[in-house]
């Protein structure tokens, strides 16, 4: 039995690793590469993919600034909850506004849960060539508007914990760079 004075055995520190960047920057690809490595190391890891969250947790929200803020706060709440229970939570989401990301960081700080912000700083011209979901092509054809970084704002983090320029390295190198930071910070 554990009492307030007895340390928890096998306690694992969790953390939220927030990967922000433009559409097709490589956030999700890097998250899955890192998750595979962490699982191989026996770590508890979850990925809160922005697209999946929009489909299941934030269904019905649009892409207004207010709806985007609400979506990011919902993701931040779930991430902090999981991280506070020893899970390394990888969160590849656009999260275009600095104030919404800062609110998530403050939630984590208030709960003393580690939070790492990673800016996947791939330039928009590279993202538009990758165009994983065809969003840039649809925007160029006039089929959609409000594409983050093109005709809707993206407020890049001024001082992220790590900036990854995915266009200059492989996915494995990007994940290794992030793994090294987490190790350095005592989160792995």
Whether residue 146 is annotated as binding a ligand: the answer is: no
Q: Is 22 annotated as a binding residue?
A: yes
Positive or negative torsion for Cα 128, 63, 68, 158: positive
Rounded-to-integer distance, Cα 173 and Cα 164, Å: 10
State the Cα–Cα distance between residues 65 and 162, nearest whole angstrom: 25
27 annotated as a binding-site residue: yes
23 is in an annotated binding site: yes
Q: What are all long-range contacts of 30-36, with beta carbons under 8 Å and residues at least 24 apart?
A: 30/92, 30/120, 30/164, 30/166, 30/171, 30/174, 30/175, 30/178, 31/90, 31/91, 31/92, 33/171, 33/172, 33/174, 33/175, 34/90, 34/175, 34/178, 34/179, 35/90
Residue 157 in marked binding region: no
Q: Rounded to 5 degrees, what are φ and ψ at 6?
A: -95, 125
Please list the residues that pair with 19 across neighbouring strands. 92, 118
Asked whether 15 and 88 are in contact (CB, 8 A), the reply is yes
28 a known binding residue? yes
The reply to whether 92 sits in an annotated binding site is: no
- 142 labelled binding-site residue: no
Q: Which residues are part of a known binding site for ATP?
A: 21-28
Binding residues: 21-28
């Amino acid at each position: 039995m554990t009492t307030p004075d007895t340390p928890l055995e096998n306690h694992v520190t969790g953390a939220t690793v927030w990967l922000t960047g433009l559409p097709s920057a490589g956030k999700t690809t890097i998250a899955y590469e890192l998750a595979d490595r962490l699982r191989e190391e026996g770590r508890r890891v979850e990925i809160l993919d922005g697209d999946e969250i929009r489909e299941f947790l934030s269904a019905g929200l649009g892409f207004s600034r207010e709806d985007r803020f609400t979506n990011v706060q919902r993701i931040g709440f779930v991430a902090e909850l999981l991280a506070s229970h020893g899970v390394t939570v990888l969160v590849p989401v656009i999260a275009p506004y600095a104030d919404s990301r800062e609110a998530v960081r403050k939630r984590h700080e208030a709960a003393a849960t580690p939070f790492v912000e990673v800016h996947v700083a791939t330039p928009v011209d590279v993202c538009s060539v990758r165009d994983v979901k065809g969003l840039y092509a649809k925007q160029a054809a006039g089929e959609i508007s409000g594409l983050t970084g093109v005709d809707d704002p993206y407020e890049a983090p001024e001082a992220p914990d790590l900036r990854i320029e995915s266009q200059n390295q492989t996915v494995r190198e990007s994940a290794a760079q992030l793994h090294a930071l987490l190790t350095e910070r005592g989160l792995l």
